[in-house]
Chains A and B, each alone.
Chain A
Amino acid sequence: MNAPHDPSSVGAAVAQKAQFSEPLRLKGGATLPAFEIAYETYGELNAARTNAVLVCHALNASHHVAGYYADQPDNLGWWDNLVGPGKPLDTRRFFVVGSNYIGSCFGSTGPASVNPATGKPWGADFPVVTVEDWVEAQARLADHLGIERFAAVIGGSLGAMQALQWTLSYPERIRHSIVIAAAARLTPQNIAFNEVARQAIMTDPDFHGGHYYDKGVVPVRGLRIARMIGHITYLSGEAMAEKFGRLLRRGTPGFDFDIDFEVESYLRYQGDKFSSYFDANTYLRITKALDYFDPAADYGGNLSAALARAKAAFLLVSFKSDWRFPPPRSRELVRALLDNRRIVSYLEIDAPGGHDAFLLEDPRYHKALAAYFGNIEL
């Protein structure tokens, strides 16, 4: 285990929780009477409080962005390759905040938390939350940490939606927004994949309409299939071909329904792993948050009008092999920002990793992020 001695690691991270007793009114109409947000921080907030960077996570990740846990040295943060001393998001210069979102199953208030009204887990009664709601909750966290204005907010995929929404909900509080592998709204095809995932979960006999916590069961089968579908869309066809080819697990076809091809083994492994730690009610809500996100909806579909409020400088990055949120989706955002004469740069990286490329360490991508962060004045 090298991590504890790795000078480019933030070292042992400590997950923290902030409690908020002021009710949070949600976009869907419901109100959360009180809530908690799990978060981690790396680096030091400077005296002028001008060096804070908020990292927003995507579907299955958490506030554990970088480093490891003292009692789990192998549990590396999901963006550890980006965040640390000397890394593109350099914690010697920036105070980095990794925030979990409400509805999550990793520590923030979510469906598995206790509903104060009943004394039992919320389960199916936990409200559907949106990207806007997450930003509201994170704004409270920022207040709690004494951060009036972030030097930058950064996120990929669903995290990118939050990075964008921050500039719309709180234009004055964001100086730079780094929006990676993003879309201003999901396509019907994206929504269709999400619906198949939800149906897999909701038709699992162990789902019990979302009230499975007190039944001692978990809709594992549904979660597995939901995750398998997700993984197919995160990888490019090219990346899958390179990673698995048509390799046969047993060397020859089995003429049965055990694992033949390597890709089947991979999907089953990912499905098993995911269903062992992720909560089905959270998964349903996150896919809904994705589906509903559409800042242009209130402006008759006019994205330029929707982004007129933004004041931040933007960096957008897309990946050519990403077919879930492909480059044209990012270009729509660039066009809308240009219409508003915003400061914007846009990189289109020819990396093979598909949607998941935003988590990988392509040198063009990471060098550009390092250069961009390097030019942010503190």
Chain B
Amino acid sequence: MRAAHLRPDLAAIAQWVAPQARVLDLGCGDGSLLRTLWQERQAPGYGVEIDDAAVLDCVDNDVNVLQVDLESGLSLFGDHTFDCVILSETLQTIHRTEFLMREMLRVGREVIVSFPNFGHWSARLQVLAGRMPVSQTLPYEWYETPNVHHCTTVDFEDLCRRLHVRIRERLVLHEGKPVTWLPNLLGSVAVYRCTAG
């Protein structure tokens, strides 16, 4: 598996991970990112995943996976035990967002978060038309979505300020390509690299 085959936000994340960094991937899915990080950067890692089928894929992919619920925190992990904690396209499914952000900053020196940007124009337009948005990055109908906490890039940056989280890098994407002009309007996925304080 090459980085080129990764979901665009994951490919961006992979570029931000230093060689040999110890990585914790929260909501790691089938373990593609971890496998890529191991093969291309020799970055050893662990994934956390709750879904049975995804966990099985991880074992199949020879990726370390821990089947525990993120909502109960990261109690398996000691303070500052990882160089990098990744939460890719999972933030919006978490009930206790602040709690998890604090937990990530407790166990990791650095945190990388990606999420679908609710500020993208198509979402705004659909809400304006009186409907909950459905798009490529928000593929669920309101009644079946696992997402509970949508946010825009501006909202996320507000939260970071409130939690005294320092944003080191930001990449906003649409259809896999970086968006620099009006990112909160034209970007559908946002990726942030943050550290504590």
> What residues make up the interface of A, taking CB atoms closer than 8 Å to B?
315, 331, 334-335, 338-339, 343-350, 364, 367-368, 371-372, 374-375
Contact = CB atoms under 8 A, between A and B. Distances in A.
Contact of A345 (B65, B76, B77, B81): B65
A348 B58 CA distance: 14
Interface string B55-77: 11011101011111000000111
A345 B78 CA distance: 17
Nearest to B52: A364
Contacts of A331: 68, 76
B15 to A, nearest CB: 25
Given A334-B76, A338-B76, A368 B64 contact: no
A180 B62 CA distance: 19
Nearest to B76: A335
B76 A348 contact: no
A347 B67 contact: yes
Contacts of A375: 59-60, 62
Contact of A338 (B55, B58, B60, B78): B78
Contacts of B52: 349-350, 364
A110 to B, nearest CB: 37
A130 to B, nearest CB: 29
B20 to A, nearest CB: 13
Interface in B65-96: 65-68, 75-78, 81
B191 to A, nearest CB: 26
Nearest to B64: A345
B115 interface: no
A267 to B, nearest CB: 33
Contacts of B66: 334, 344-346
B165 to A, nearest CB: 24
A338 B59 contact: no
Given A331-B68, A348-B67, A364-B52, A372 B59 contact: yes
Contacts of B67: 346-348
Most A-side CB within 10 Å, residue of B46, B67, B76, B77: B67
A133 B147 CA distance: 52
Contact of B59 (A334, A348, A350, A371): A371
Given A331-B76, A364-B52, A343 B64 contact: yes
Contacts of B77: 335, 338
For the complex of A and B, list the 9 residue pairs with the smallest distance between their C-beta atoms, beginning with the closest: A371-B60, A371-B59, A375-B62, A348-B67, A346-B66, A335-B76, A347-B67, A368-B59, A345-B65
Contacts of A339: 78, 81
B61 to A, nearest CB: 9
Contacts of B60: 371, 374-375
Contact of A344 (B62, B64, B78): B64
Contact of B58 (A343, A344, A345, A367): A345
Given A331-B68, A338-B78, A347 B55 contact: yes
A338 B46 contact: yes
Nearest to A336: B76
Interface string B162-194: 000000000000000000000000000000000
Contact of A348 (B64, B68, B78, B81): B68
